[in-house]
Homo-oligomer: A and B are copies of this chain.
Amino acid sequence: MITETRLVQFDSLELDCGETLHGLQVAYETYGRLNEEKNNAVLILHAFTGDAHAAGIDHEGKTGWWDNMIGPGKGFDTNRYFVICSNVLGGCRGTTGPSSMDPRTGRRYGLRFPVITISDMVRLQKKLIDHLGIPRLLAVAGGSMGGMQALEWAVAYPEAVEACIPIAATARHSAQQIAFNETGRQAIMMDPDFQNGDYPDDKPPARGLAVARMIGHITYMSDESMREKFGRRLRNREAFSFGFDIDFEVESYLRYRGQQFVGRFDANSYLYITKAMDYFDLTLGYPSLAASLERATARFLVISFTSDWLYPSYQSLEIVNALRSRNHDVTYCELTSNYGHDAFLVDIAEQTEVMRGFLDRCQRDFRRPQP
């Protein structure tokens, strides 16, 4: 399946911070076909460093980040469903973000880009869905930050969401989650090459960004999966180096991943997107999570993974309990996996089964949008 990223322009977007962005662009991909009833559209929402290329092979030969879940016969079966994925607002993979040109100045936004929220991201996605002529989505689904967007969709646009599938997600970032993000931001902003966000293309704050990514990678894996994958194995040596070069496999992996990330991700986007996650709090302005979810009319499938310590199951259960307390239709699956937070990307056998049954039921019971 060869896929292509398309671009669509929008005039403006009002933001939670009070500012308005003008001249926006959204990068998106679609897989499968929208049926005549328009009841088979699934919006996939990507995690922190993801992009619109969720499935298939692009013109550079790169496989989509959730290709194991999206395609003919897969969890999101493209023989049945019309699947859409777009790069988030604030990203650096085609959608307007801090590395875009500010139409007012002709210069890059940099830190002059307004601070955005998960709800701003979703507001822009709604414009895309309207543009595609879809009155009601069969499902919104995503892992990690994608799950936060899915929850926001269910609350912000209840009339447009038949089913909501937050995976390995939370209704609000905890102190520990904020702390990890803040440490990554500090690593970037402390890099002298950061230059207050006005770094040139060929000299990004590479060292800080790499360190931030190393922290991230540790939190995405579980203690056990790191033990299985690396243990205490040495890298290309029989004995300790008694120096500060690479001794262990795990050191080599982290350094490599850190450096590789610099080539594909923008440091300012790192700041903006992590901040959006930290600000995310579905209860904001409501007396409780249950009260905030009251507006939602969607059916919910909430998924978490046993070894995910970054977005632990108790955070998913908080959502489930809030939904149950108001008699929402909610299915909760805690799947067994050793892969930690990465599980939603890699350990997909059970996830696929659960998804298939749930989507099938939701399409059968699809409620037509009120005109």
Contacts and interface: CB of A to CB of B under 8 A. Distances in A.
A229 B275 contact: no
Interface in A278-335: 278-279, 281, 309, 312
Contact of A187 (B187, B247, B255, B309): B187
Interface stretch (A60-68, A121-129, A209-217): A209-217
B211 A242 contact: no
Interface stretch (A81-89, A150-158, A176-184, A362-370): A176-184
Contacts of A211: 183, 186-187, 190, 211
A187 B244 CA distance: 13
Interface string A213-232: 01101100101001101111
Contact of A207 (B16, B182, B190, B312): B190
Number of copies of this protein chain within its complex: 2
Contacts of A13: none
B250 A179 contact: yes
Interface string A160-184: 0000000000001111101110110
A1 interface: no
Nearest to A281: B232
A182 B251 contact: yes
A243 interface: yes
A251 B279 CA distance: 13
B175 A227 contact: yes
Contacts of A251: 178-179, 182
28 contacts: A16-B242, A17-B242, A18-B242, A115-B241, A174-B227, A175-B227, A175-B231, A175-B250, A176-B218, A176-B226, A176-B227, A178-B248, A179-B217, A179-B250, A179-B254, A182-B251, A182-B254, A183-B254, A185-B244, A186-B214, A186-B255, A187-B211, A190-B208, A190-B211, A191-B207, A211-B211, A215-B215, A223-B309
